[in-house]
Structure 1
């Protein structure tokens, strides 16, 4: 296993953008067309979330989503090449001054993001702009890949806290005036989340981002990374959102709904670059008070 771990950075260092794109398409084809991993489910979800399109359009969006997943895998290997020259050649960053302005207030900032495009890239390049960052992570399987991911984070000065039981550590990062990365498009178990509207259906969502913002007085800054047709990465920083005024359930609900709407808008601009294989809507509300915005769940 250690030999494999040592081999991965070497492979990444030799992987050109062209080869990453080619192999990414092949991996995507393998998952989506040959193995057809959740392919029918993905296309049903696309029809529900993005109605009134042709069958060919849904097939293209589905294939694009699998290709994006394959390219993210290859681009993750490429992260070993990160330096200022690589950044100047492959990445455009818009809105950096928004982050600097937020951190100048001394209360840290929360980065709202999603599994869109090369979603790991914004955190990995933060060190090149002297932005201290902590991310909330899950353990990756198999263990060999998790070890590789840990090595990458250390290399680029990205601190990490586990996604469970880390609320105090997250608050500490914000109070140390760091940026805290928070991916909000993942499904939550019914007892762990709150329901908000996402593409017209209730989606169980973590209230943690809104609660952290309210408790620490830290702004929330949407940051998304998308891929241009030529493979160039576009990182867009949107205007900062003020912290919720209190921690009342209705306030946290409204804030979480607002954050989710921002994610939905970003996905609608680049639907082929989101991970539609994720079962985002698996639990549905059981009672009136669990439905988004206090509305009853659909029959």
Structure 2
């Protein structure tokens, strides 16, 4: 599989995206469980067919582009809102980037590392190691690059993240990822209660880090990506539950701006697992 990944990483981005588009529709057609969850999540957000249908193919592109992003040549990246990053770094209190399952969330950390990670402050991203040994090896190799560090989803990883923010460094999280039981609260997400992580709120409150929303828009015809960055619309209050609601509302706004690139097939409303 590693050899296959290396071969795929040499292909042009437009070709990988074309293959991924077909893969996305194939999975949507043959997997009833995935299709039902996909449609139900989109309808929960109040979206009709014409608003979410593009996300079927985009979900496949998300998988197909990974070999190129992990092992291939750098891809073109544009920035929208880079001034927010530069202003936050200048404050020196650390920067917490919150990136939903929207567009290409892999590119946001890579783009930051390339533009800011080596010359200003590195970024640490939270990740859960794959159960597949070959994929775990590929991921660890791909994500260990100049200006970009990784932290596991363990207590040691949380301590590593707090330490990084207190040094004025940057951190990347997926705030709409369902955390293990006991590490989140139930909060509305598109009008339905979803178990939502409190880690992002705790990190911001404990360190005084600047919180920014970021996501990587996948441009058409393999032209690369555009990283969008913007501040939270409101400051996070001391009350953790209320702070989580503010983050969820901000995520909803981002997703409504580009619903065709959200990962509607993600099991956002599932019951949290018991951490072992």
By the TM > 0.5 criterion, same fold? yes
Contact kept? 1:9, 1:77, Cα under 8 Å: yes
Q: What is the aligned partner in structure 1 of residue 213 from structure 2? A: 222
Shift of 1:45: 2.5
Q: Which of 167, 191, 203 is equivalent to 1:212?
A: 203
Higher Cα radius of gyration: 1
Q: What is the aligned partner in structure 2 of residue 177 from structure 1? A: 168
Shift of 1:227: 2.1
Contact kept? 1:114, 1:185, Cα under 8 Å: yes
Distance in 2 (alpha carbons) for counterparts of 1:231 and 1:268: 23
In structure 2, the residue corresponding to 1:116 is in which secondary structure? coil
Judged with a 3 Å threshold, the aligned counterparts in structure 2 of structure 1 residues 82 and 256 are, in CA distance, closer, same or farther, namely: farther
Unmatched 5+ stretches in structure 1? 285-299
Shift of 1:134: 0.2
In structure 2, the residue corresponding to 1:155 is in which secondary structure? coil
Superposition pairs of residues 1-299 of structure 1, within 5 angstroms: 4-12=1-9, 14-50=10-46, 53=48, 57=49, 61=52, 63-79=53-69, 80-83=71-74, 86-87=75-76, 91-131=77-117, 132-165=122-155, 166-232=157-223, 233-239=225-231, 244=236, 246=238, 251-283=239-271
Identify which of structures 1 and 2 has the higher relative contact order when contacts are C-alpha pairs closer than 8 Å and 6+ apart. Answer: 2
Shift of 1:231: 4.0
Unmatched 5+ stretches in structure 2? none
In structure 1, the residue corresponding to 2:270 is in which secondary structure? coil
TM-score (normalizing by structure 1): 0.81
RMSD: 2.3
Contact kept? 1:189, 1:204, Cα under 8 Å: no
Distance in 2 (alpha carbons) for counterparts of 1:275 and 1:20: 18
Shift of 1:64: 3.0
